[in-house]
Structure 1
Amino acid sequence: MPGPLPPLRLTGATVLRDGGLQDRTVAIAGGRISAGPYPAVDLSGFFILPGMVDLSVRALDRDGPPPTETSARAALAEAGRAAAMAGVTTGWATHLWSASGAGAAERAEACLRALDRHRAETLVDLRIALTYDAATLPATERLLAAIRRHGVDRLAFVDAVVATKRTPAFDPARLRAMAEARGLSAEALSQELAGAPVGPRELPRILCRIAEALDILGVSYGSQGDADGETREFFAMLGARICESPAALRAASLARAVGDPVVAAVSGSEAAQVPATALVRAGKCSALASGGRPAALARTAFALADDGVLDLPRAWRLVSEAPAALMRLPDRGVIAQGKRADLAIVNKATRQVEATLVAGRLVFAAGEAAMRFVDARQAAVPVAAE
Structure 2
Amino acid sequence: MSRLLPPLRLVGATILRDGALQARSIAIEDGRITRGPLPEIDLTGYLVLPGMVDLHGSSFTRHLAPRPAAQFDPMTALAATDREAAANGVTTAYLSQGWSWQGGLRGPDFAETLMSALRRYRAQALTDLRMSLECETHMVDTAARLMAAVRSYDVGRLVFHNTLDDTLEHLRERQMHGGDPLSVDEGSAQEYRLRLRRAQERSKEVPRHLCRLAEAFDDMGVIYGSNGDLDGETRESYAMIGAKQCEFPRSRRAAAAAKAMGDPVILSAPDTTHPKGQFSALSTIDLIKENTCDALASDYYYPSMLHAVWMLVDMHGMSLPAAWSLVSERPAQIMRLPDRGTLTQGRRADLVILHEQTRRIEATIVGGRLAYMAGEAGARFLGHTPEETAFAVRPSRSQASLPQIQRN
Instruction: Tell me the TM-score range normalised by the shorter chain.
Output: 0.7 to 0.9
How high is the sequence identity, in percent, across the aligned residues?
Answer: 45
How far 1:302 sits from its partner (Å)?
1.6
TM-score normalised by L of structure 2: 0.82
Q: 1:154 aligns with which of 154, 157, 167?
A: 157
Pick closer, same or farther for the CA change 1:347–1:195 going to 2, 3 Å: same
How far 1:135 sits from its partner (Å)?
2.9
Q: 1:369 aligns with which of 359, 373, 377?
A: 377
Q: Tell me the equivalent position of 2:228.
A: 225
Pick closer, same or farther for the CA change 1:302–1:32 going to 2, 3 Å: same
What amino acid is the match of 2:83?
R
Q: What is the aligned-residue RMSD (CA, Å)?
A: 2.9
Q: Tell me the equivalent position of 1:105.
A: 108
Residue 319 of structure 1: SS of its match in structure 2? coil
How far 1:165 sits from its partner (Å)?
5.6
The answer to whether structure 1 residue 305 and structure 2 residue 305 are counterparts is no
Residue 235 of structure 1: SS of its match in structure 2? helix
How far 1:294 sits from its partner (Å)?
1.4
The answer to whether structure 1 residue 89 and structure 2 residue 120 are counterparts is no
Pick closer, same or farther for the CA change 1:57–1:326 going to 2, 3 Å: same
How far 1:3 sits from its partner (Å)?
1.2
How far 1:163 sits from its partner (Å)?
2.4
Q: Deviations over 1:190-249 (max 9, x none)?
A: 896477435767621111000011111111100001122222122112211100001111
Q: 2:145 aligns with which of 117, 142, 147?
A: 142
How far 1:298 sits from its partner (Å)?
1.1
**Equivalents in 1 of 2:80, 2:283: separation in Å?**
27
Q: 1:339 aligns with which of 347, 353, 357?
A: 347
Q: Tell me the equivalent position of 2:19.
A: 19
**Equivalents in 2 of 1:60, 1:260: separation in Å?**
28
What amino acid is the match of 2:311?
A
**Equivalents in 1 of 2:308, 2:316: separation in Å?**
12
What amino acid is the match of 1:77?
A
Pick closer, same or farther for the CA change 1:158–1:190 going to 2, 3 Å: farther
Q: Tell me the equivalent position of 1:72.
A: 74
**Equivalents in 2 of 1:354, 1:253: separation in Å?**
38
Q: Tell me the equivalent position of 2:210.
A: 207
How far 1:351 sits from its partner (Å)?
1.1
The answer to whether structure 1 residue 353 and structure 2 residue 356 are counterparts is no
What amino acid is the match of 1:98?
S
Q: Is the 8 A contact 1:266 1:300 kept in 2?
A: yes
Pick closer, same or farther for the CA change 1:211–1:218 going to 2, 3 Å: same
Q: Is the 8 A contact 2:265 2:295 kept in 1?
A: yes
**Equivalents in 2 of 1:79, 1:186: separation in Å?**
31
Pick closer, same or farther for the CA change 1:207–1:60 going to 2, 3 Å: farther
Q: Deviations over 1:144-190 (max 9, x none)?
A: 001111100000100112323659xx9xxxxxxxx99xxx9999968
Pick closer, same or farther for the CA change 1:220–1:59 going to 2, 3 Å: farther
TM-score normalised by L of structure 1: 0.86
**Equivalents in 1 of 2:252, 2:37: separation in Å?**
51
What amino acid is the match of 2:308?
T
Q: Tell me the equivalent position of 2:406.
A: none
Q: Tell me the equivalent position of 1:124.
A: 127
**Equivalents in 2 of 1:217, 1:99: separation in Å?**
24
**Equivalents in 2 of 1:261, 1:89: separation in Å?**
21
The answer to whether structure 1 residue 252 and structure 2 residue 260 are counterparts is no
How far 1:289 sits from its partner (Å)?
0.3
The range that moved more, 76-85 or 93-102, is: 93-102
Q: Deviations over 1:47-91 (max 9, x none)?
A: 0000000112335456347999x7111111111111100011000
How far 1:137 sits from its partner (Å)?
3.0
What amino acid is the match of 1:3?
R
How many pairs were matched up? 363
What amino acid is the match of 1:220?
I
Residue 243 of structure 1: SS of its match in structure 2? strand
Q: Is the 8 A contact 1:15 1:24 kept in 2?
A: yes
Q: Tell me the equivalent position of 2:56.
A: 56
**Equivalents in 2 of 1:67, 1:28: separation in Å?**
43
Q: Tell me the equivalent position of 1:277.
A: 285
**Equivalents in 2 of 1:148, 1:376: separation in Å?**
49
Residue 259 of structure 2: SS of its match in structure 1? helix
- Residue segments in structure 1 that go unaligned for 5+ positions in a row: 171-178, 378-386
Q: Tell me the equivalent position of 2:9.
A: 9
**Equivalents in 1 of 2:321, 2:188: separation in Å?**
43
What amino acid is the match of 2:126?
L
Q: Tell me the equivalent position of 1:289.
A: 297
**Equivalents in 1 of 2:221, 2:122: separation in Å?**
21
What amino acid is the match of 1:370?
G
What amino acid is the match of 1:26?
I
